Amino acid sequence: MHKILLSGYYGYNNAGDEAILKSIIANIKKIDKNADITVLSDNIEFTKEKYNINAVKRFNPLHILKALLQCDILISGGGTLFQDKTSTRSLIYYTSIINIAKLFGKKVMIYANGIGPLKKQSNIKRVKKSIEKSDIITLRDIKTLETVKLMKVENENIFLTTDPVFSLKPDDNAQALLKENNIPCDKEFVVISVRSWDKQGEFTTIFAKACDYIIEKYDKNVIFFALQYPHDLKSTHIIKQKMKNNSYIIQDITPMQMMGIMQKATYVISMRLHGLIFASSVCTPVLGFSYDPKIDNLLNQIDMPVCSKIEDMSIEDMKKSVDDMEINLQSYRTKLENKIEKIKEMAKKNFDYMKLIIEK
């Protein structure tokens, strides 16, 4: 029985990170059904109950040290853990856990990570050091691999994969979920996912006008998802209140349920990375916004359109992007259908490299 410790952005009810965690746990169980899995989580009761595994408070130093001492393997990731856009503190947190694990003689896998942006030279050195110490590293996009090469990392066990969420399967009960939420099924619908932003008033007004445009010009329903629940609900409710037309919110559902509903959608407009991943993985065209390298990297990988940079967004841009999506919908869908199987195969490679380190 292997003892495996998972480190990432877990326990915050972020649909993307929870989907990553679900895929990691499923992969571990395929390799060793009796594995003893512990997660560093912000909400240990939530994590224990949801996944039926052990959890340790992610900011309790003594509990973290104990978990590191007791484990055989540390898996760090996925997500974009190594970046200093949010703060240097979070980067130090994740690299320190890797460094301590290696100090204790544990095997370490950096799992399907994105890296960057890294602005400070000291942080580049920190990340380089942690990568060089790790036993196996999988990276989720080509830009991250290029970043690692520019850092001149000395480690032969670095492999290009993609986000592990691409390997998840959608819930096939979407129609029932729509009915449960009193959403009429007599029209096509578009799924929207937003997050908070600095210029809250301006961007929510633009989104509200764009949603009304979709309803009035194209006769579609608009359904909102909060991918980080309940954090994203504030912006969602503001947009809904500003709209002239009726719209719908589905909240507190699983990532697989989101994927199931997105599979039925005409297209998805998302500020959240995993909103774009959930939709594209079921071949539903997506429209994204440029504000973080991880978004640009994904949209480039799946060859889907960028509306604009968030800070430069206008209602004119939104209308043009919606019109383009409506006119070229089948073309975008065909693009995804031609790409997605290869991307899913790359996602499965995360499992292959995990199997290698667990069984080594």
Strand residue runs (E) in 179-321: 189-193, 221-225, 248-250, 267-270, 286-290, 306-309
pLDDT for 85 = 87
List the 3-10 sheet strands across, edge first.
Answer: 54-57, 36-41, 3-10, 73-82, 107-115, 136-139, 158-160
Using one digit for the tens of pLDDT, what is the confidence trace for 174-224?
989 999 999 998 999 999 999 988 767 788 999 999 999 999 999 999 999
Report d(CA 24, CA 351) in Å as an integer.
Answer: 8
Paired with 40 in beta bridges are: 56
Which residues have C-beta within 8 Å of that of residue 339, sequence separation ≥ 6?
302, 303
pTM: 0.96
Q: Which domains does the chain have, with CATH numbers?
A: 3-160 (3.40.50.2000), 174-340 (3.40.50.2000)
- With b for 16 or more beta-carbon neighbours within 10 A and e for fewer, the 89-110 pattern comes to eebebbbebbbebbeeebbbbb
Torsion of CA 246, 206, 260, 26, to 10 degrees: -140
Two structure tokens written together for 184: 């009429």
Q: At 338, phi and psi to the nearest 5?
A: -75, -25
pLDDT one digit per residue (tens) for the chain, 360 residues: 899 999 999 999 999 999 999 999 999 999 999 999 999 999 999 999 999 999 999 999 999 999 999 999 999 999 999 999 888 999 999 999 999 999 999 999 999 999 999 999 999 999 999 999 999 999 999 999 999 999 999 999 999 999 999 999 999 999 899 999 999 989 999 999 999 887 677 889 999 999 999 999 999 999 999 999 888 999 999 999 999 999 999 988 999 999 999 999 999 999 999 999 999 999 999 999 998 889 999 999 999 999 988 888 999 999 999 999 999 999 999 999 999 999 999 999 999 999 999 998
Rounded Cα distance, 278 and 263, in Å: 9
CA 280 to chain centre: 12
- Is residue 26 exposed (0-12), middle (13-18) or buried (19+ Cβ within 10 Å)? middle
8 Å CB contact between 256 and 171: yes
Asked whether the beta carbons of 137 and 109 are under 8 A apart, the reply is yes
Beta-carbon count within 10 A of 70 CB: 14
Question: What pLDDT does residue 165 have?
Answer: 97
Q: From the DSSP assignment, how many helices (H) and strands (E) are in the chain?
A: 14, 13
